[in-house]
Homo-oligomer: A and B are copies of this chain.
């Protein structure tokens, strides 16, 4: 089973600039050993359910140390019999169109 999980997590009590707090999450993600790709609106993880959920939980524990209110959005696409979907999902769309897209 390949679980793709995209999430973004932000503190609600730090004003409208909070890259310092997002960076702490990315540090946790980057050091977790889980495959990931950062995009402008979130981070996509790939792994087993427990593995990717643990990363989200670790980020939540850290952010809730510093913030009174934490907001988080998560989107999951879990598919059996697949792997390396961080790359293959984009490739399959490019293959249909027979051209490269902006990634």
Contact = CB atoms under 8 A, between A and B. Distances in A.
A20 B37 CA distance: 24
> In the assembly, how many copies of this chain are there?
4
Nearest to A9: B76
Contacts of A4: 40-41
A103 B53 contact: no
A51 to B, nearest CB: 12
A85 B85 CA distance: 26
Interface of A: 1, 4, 6, 8, 10, 12-13, 15-16, 19-20, 22-23, 26-27, 30, 36-42, 44, 46, 49, 53, 57, 60, 64, 68-81, 85-87, 89-90, 92-93, 95-97, 101-103
